[in-house]
Amino acid sequence: MMRAKIWLVLAGLLLATSSTYAEVIENYTWKAVPGKDAEMLAAFTEAKAIHEDMGASVSMSQHGTGSTQLIDYTMRWDNLDAWAKSMDMGRSPEGAARWQKFMAQYDEPVGEMVASSGGANLDSSKSADDFDGNYVFAVFVWEPNEGQRAEFLAGAMAAEKLHESLGARVEVYGEQFGDFGRVHYVMMYDDYASWAESNKKMAQSKEWAEMQAASAAGGTGTLVSTMRGQTLVAQ
């Protein structure tokens, strides 16, 4: 009975992610051509203005630290309807002409796209402008075990509640483009000092220790990748 209830609750949650009421995200990871870091960021800044004119909310973030790291170009929309409207604006004659003019400036590439993903926030109350401003973050990409997606998401929701009580802001995304089925667990902080303080609390949390032990004993998913980063201040 409990298993059935979990499935019913999470089925509704997953339906919400594909509805018109959940924040939609697309993320593109780029690596600058050697010596072209500044040119790539300048191109992103110009592309950002175009995308925002077409209805997207755009941010850029840097993986890790240093000047030669990967850069994420992230677009968000309030919901699926806003995403569709933005896409149609981009493919309209006016939109296509604007992108052609933008691309004509570059005789040679300034960067290479090395990864992309997209999906929807599992919290249907979130909108694109909830992510304005600057912050630091960590992303954990998980592959739920076959037949255990509901149990995995239940565990993710429990972890979210705990992590937020310890000072993190957590967002959970289900992929809808690319590797369908993966879950992105994102932990965000105002700054690295807040992150460090939250980690100290986590290390002392009996509930977190119990959660980790239970996961190690019989986890419902596989951790595929992790990364940390920070939004670029000048946007």
Q: What is the pLDDT of residue 12?
A: 39
Q: How far apart are the first and last CA of the chain?
A: 50
How many folded domains does the chain comprise?
Answer: 1
Over residues 49-63, the pLDDT tens digits come to: 999 999 999 999 999
User: What DSSP letter does each residue of 38-92 carry, written as one string?
Assistant: HHHHHHHHHHHHHHHHTT-EEEEEEESSSSSS-EEEEEEESSHHHHHHHHHHHHS
**Phi, psi dihedrals of residue 35, rounded to the nearest 5°:** 85, 0
pLDDT band at 48 (very low <50, low <70, confident <90, very high): very high
Over residues 76-91, the pLDDT tens digits come to: 999 989 999 999 999 9
Q: What is the pLDDT of residue 3?
A: 35
Q: What is the pLDDT of residue 180?
A: 56
| Dist CA 214 CA 203 (whole Å) | 16
Mean predicted confidence (pLDDT) in 181-205: 95
Q: Which of 62-71, 113-122, 198-207 has the lowest mean pLDDT?
A: 62-71
Which among 38, 16, 40 is positioned nearest to 29, based on CA atoms?
40
- For 70, residues 6+ apart whose C-beta sits below 8 A from its C-beta are 29, 30, 31, 62, 63, 114
Task: Give the chain's radius of gyration (CA, Å).
Answer: 19
CATH number at residue 158: 3.30.70.100
Domain hosting 77: range is 2-231
Over residues 2-16, the pLDDT tens digits come to: 333 333 333 334 444
Burial 190-219, CB ≥16 within 10 A → b, else e: eeeebbeebeeebeebeebeeeeeeeeeeb
